[in-house]
Amino acid sequence: MKVSAIFMMILTFAIIWGGFLFFIKKLQKKEKSKSSKN
Amino acid sequence: MEKSEKFSSSWALILATLGMAIGAGNIWRFPRLAGQYGGAFLIPWMVFLILWSIPLIIVEFSIGRRTRQGLIGSFHQFLGPGFSWMGAFVAFCTMAIMFYYSVVTGWALKYFLSAATGNLQTSSSSDYWQQFINGYQPVLFHLMALFIGCLVIYRGINRGVEKANRILMPSLIVLLIIGAVRALTLPNALIGLNYFFEVRMDYLLDYQVWLEGLSQSAWSTGAGWGLILTYAIYIKEDEDVVLNSFITGFGNNSASLLAGLAIIPTIFSLTPTLIEAENALKAGNDGLSFIVIPQLFSKLPGSALFSSIFFLALFFAALTSLISMLELATRIFIDFGLPRTKALPLVGLLTAVLGLPSALSYSFFQNQDWVWGLGLIISGSFFMFAILRFGVNNFRKEFVNIIPDNSRAGIWFEVFLKYFIPIEAILLIGWWFYRSIKWNPHHWYNPFQTDSLGTCVVQWTLLVLMLISLNRLFIHLLKKARA
């Protein structure tokens, strides 16, 4: 595998999967604080 | 009018919207394009997730949450009664897709059952496909898929949509992970990965690759179809629509990447030469899924198992999207005053009958896929028109950023809706029409040509004229139901 392809693979996964997990984590936090308020 | 249910939690809503967004396009279209153009395709695909899909998903979520009505009722309430037909156009466009999508879901079900029982004839997969597609079986499987979808919608949002997605979505992800692990452990899988991620400058500078990325973003996330608007009817008032929109968009693309990992290395590992692998990726959506993949999987030890996994994943992905389309159509009739128990059989019957031509004629299916797939860009433009007419700034303040603790749509949201999305919509329509003229240089105006510009213009115009003439009826039915 070429180095540029490896770089692109890491970048793509970091943005898409990283982004998805980041937003899921944010929702998780929100839900937690909501339930503790209740 | 029926009292609306609500999604029981944000997680239930997320699973449902991901189920809506992740469909056949993630499994059979994305890997085909990503394998052909590599990293040069992934860049525009990521850029347009932000510049097209997410703003439109936010728009749909916000309108549905406020109006608490399906597409026709929403446009009626949001833009005024005179524009109800616009909502009807978006609804019809998605319903027209539903009519043949049920057929596609049936194909996936048939191939899963054949693979699981060891009856998938992989030695002559092209003949097997031709025999299947030209016989009566697509009708049978179309009706079976539709029946399963209707069963879910009949049970309503909590007991139907939520429960089904709670089972189907995690199962789909597990199936894709198994497929990806198997693909990545095949010999020469790295060649496929290289094709998947290498950025070739000639492709990156090719405007067509950028428009392919935009097309994939427009079709794959479900933005502008009215499906998210329909699910948004059932969300809680304080639901974070901006955060949910980002999760839907990024989640959809994450599933596409998983599907790419499962399919692209398999193709490059199991085809004897690179040219054959490249040709396999050019076989078209159904050609790749129903002819090339069965052929390739037959070379693997335990081929029945891996074929079954692939077609079950395709079936689950298609079914969860079909469910959301059935809910969209059912909701329209609920807004007209019918209870769910009467609206759903009507939608089921309509889909069964209007799906028949696509089940019986492959060229009719291709025509409908062309006309209404492209029609979705018009649908997206109608949403954009609605927001521009209302005022983007007003919309952001009065519809999106209304709960103090929630994530906020910044000024970027206005810029994207005002400037980027209109240009993208014009470019997309213009480019696909240009392609159509290139495909049919002598018959581009012929309305009876499968993929001509003429067939789009004629079918859209007829629909718009019909819906404008029915506008008064829509207003009457909505008012009567409310009274």
Cα distance from A38 to chain B (closest Cα, Å)? Answer: 14
Superfamily of domain B10-482: Amino acid/polyamine transporter I (1.20.1740.10)
Q: Are residues B243 and A15, on separate chains, in Cβ contact within 8 Å?
A: no
Low-confidence ranges of chain B (pLDDT < 70): 1-3, 121-123
Q: Do A12 and B194 lie within an 8 Å CB cutoff?
A: no
Residues B366 and B451 sit within 8 Å (Cβ to Cβ): yes
pLDDT in tens, B422-459: 999 999 999 999 999 998 888 888 999 888 999 999 99
Chain B residues with beta carbon closer than 8 angstroms to that of A36: none
Q: Can you read off the two tokens belonging to residue A1?
A: 């595998």
How close B6 gets to chain A, by Cα (Å)?
17
DSSP SS3 for B444: coil
Name every chain B residue with its beta carbon within 8 A of the beta carbon of A1: 190, 193-194
The predicted structure's pLDDT at residue B264 = 93
User: Which among B10, B190, B197 has CB closest to A27?
Assistant: B10
Torsions phi, psi of B124, nearest 5?
-125, 60
C-beta of residue B481 within 8 angstroms of C-beta of residue B336: yes
Which chain B residue is nearest to residue A8, measuring alpha carbons? Answer: B197
Instruction: Using CA coordinates, name the residue in chain A closest to B256.
Output: A16
| ipTM for the whole complex | 0.96
Q: Dihedrals φ, ψ of B182, to 5°?
A: -60, -45
pLDDT, residue B3, reads: 60
pLDDT tens digit sequence for B270-314? 888 888 888 888 777 787 888 888 888 888 888 889 899 999 999
pLDDT of the residue at B126: 85
Any chain A CB within 8 A of the CB of B126? Answer: no
Residues A27 and B240: beta-carbon distance below 8 Å: yes
Using DSSP's 3-state secondary structure scheme, residue B355 falls into helix
Q: Does B147 touch chain A (CB under 8 A)?
A: no
Chain-chain contact of B254 with A17 (C-beta, under 8 angstroms): yes
User: By the 8 A CB rule, do B103 and B358 touch?
Assistant: yes
Å from B412 to nearest chain A CA? Answer: 18
Residues whose CB is less than 8 angstroms from the CB of residue B183 and which lie 6 or more positions away in sequence, other chains included? B189, B192, B261, B262, B263, B264, B265, B266, B269
pLDDT in tens, B305-320: 989 999 999 999 999 9
Is residue A13 within 8 angstroms of chain B, CB to CB? Answer: yes
Q: What residue ranges do the domains of chain B occupy?
A: 10-482
Closest CA–CA distance from residue A7 to any residue of chain B (Å) = 8
The reported pLDDT for the residue numbered B121 is 65
Is residue B310 within 8 Å of B293, Cβ to Cβ?
Answer: yes
Whether A5 and B193 have beta carbons less than 8 Å apart is answered as yes
pLDDT score of B122:
63
The amino acid present at B29, given as its one-letter code, is R
B247 in reach of chain A (CB within 8 A): yes
Give chain A's count of helices (H) and strands (E): 1, 0
Q: What local confidence, expressed as pLDDT, does residue B387 receive?
A: 96
In this complex, is the C-beta atom of B196 within 8 Å of any C-beta atom belonging to chain A?
Answer: yes
pLDDT at residue A6 in the model: 95
A38 has a pLDDT exceeding 90: no
Helix B303-335, helix B137-154: angle, nearest 10:
60
* Interchain contact A4–B (C-beta under 8 A): yes
